[in-house]
Structure 1
């Protein structure tokens, strides 16, 4: 599958590199030359770089892995024409709080700013370390990757990428559920980044 990445920092690179290793073709969407893009291209010579709109036009699925505060201006200048947009971003406010005061999810704002995209929230409930490596030797369950979105077919496509990366996909429902996934992200960040739990901390789905 051809995947475009808008944002190739720690989260974007971890996902892009892991997906490239699974046989997907990665396009780094570039709006301007940067040290981050240069570093990503040097770390994986199989990536290619294209201007933002060209990368989106060529991709089957687009990943958004930018700082949340950059999203409004960025997305309003782009055309997605019905493409799947995987929202990997989180609105984080002061003191590791929800940046939109829990009144609406960041993903719903992303959908508002990119109305011609099929937005799916995914790859946000852990830190980048677990996107780089999803293996947990000694356990007989896979880590779960929760997602939310309004389009079932789009979520099924994203679920296939989740499975490629070694996770158990879990459809939590419509895009408004992204608010709760963002709170799970804040929980993980507070536990790991603030309170020093091991960064390999993940959740699992157990169903009787």
Structure 2
């Protein structure tokens, strides 16, 4: 699969490396071509501009840009028909959800990318270091990755890429509601991990006990 990656930060690096190891072709696209080149050299991959990454990503395009610039970038790129993976989190100072009361970041991205773009919210609940693990397994269980989107084919593509990282995909609802829930969950988890020093896994009981 040809995967274009928009961005040259930690998420681009971690997920791009995993997909390259799985046999996919990856092109890292950056606003700073020097950073894109350095990242590509690290993994023996291609690099280019953001537009070149969008053109290259016939299989999928990972949006690994700061959430507040992603929509502006999306308006300028040829993303019609592309499977867009949105891993951004609109979390600001004080761990505040910056999209509260309005459309989710993923919904805003979908609107900016155009009616033919197929956005899937995924990979937003964990720090980049988790995605570097080979594979992300905890207490003998592969990490679950919730996916939110409206297009069945796009969800299947992203599900394949989740499995290539060594994780298990599962449905988290349609984009209008599911993405907002995932982004709010990320804000909560980041607050618990960073500010409170809490092991966030401790707040969710095992499934077999949850209904008792």
Same fold (TM over 0.5): yes
CA contact (8 A) 1:93 1:100 kept: no
**1:108-147 mapped onto 2 (5 Å cutoff):** 108-115=107-114, 116-133=116-133, 134-136=135-137, 138-139=139-140, 141-147=141-147
CA contact (8 A) 1:143 1:205 kept: no
Alignment TM-score, normalising by the size of structure 1: 0.88
Helix, strand or coil: the match of 2:47?
strand
Could you tell me which runs of 5 or more consecutive residues in structure 2 were left unpaired when the two chains were aligned: none
Q: How far 1:32 moved relative to its partner?
A: 3.5
Helix, strand or coil: the match of 1:81?
coil
**1:159-198 mapped onto 2 (5 Å cutoff):** 159-176=159-176, 177-197=178-198
Q: 1:15 to 1:61 in 2, by over 3 A?
A: same
Deviations 1:68-111 (A, max 9, x none): 11122211111112010101111112211111124221100000
Q: How far 1:12 moved relative to its partner?
A: 1.3
Q: 2:47 aligns with which of 46, 49, 60?
A: 49
CA distance in structure 2 between the partners assigned to 1:56 and 1:205 by the alignment:
40
Q: How many residues align?
A: 204
Helix, strand or coil: the match of 1:66?
coil
CA-atom RMSD in angstroms: 2.4
Aligned to 1:156: 156
Helix, strand or coil: the match of 1:92?
coil
CA contact (8 A) 1:145 1:168 kept: yes
Establish whether residue 21 from structure 1 lines up as the match of residue 18 from structure 2: no
Give the structure with the higher percent helix.
2
CA distance in structure 1 between the partners assigned to 2:52 and 2:46 by the alignment:
12
Q: Which moved more, 1:62-71 or 1:187-196?
A: 187-196
**1:66-77 mapped onto 2 (5 Å cutoff):** 66-77=65-76
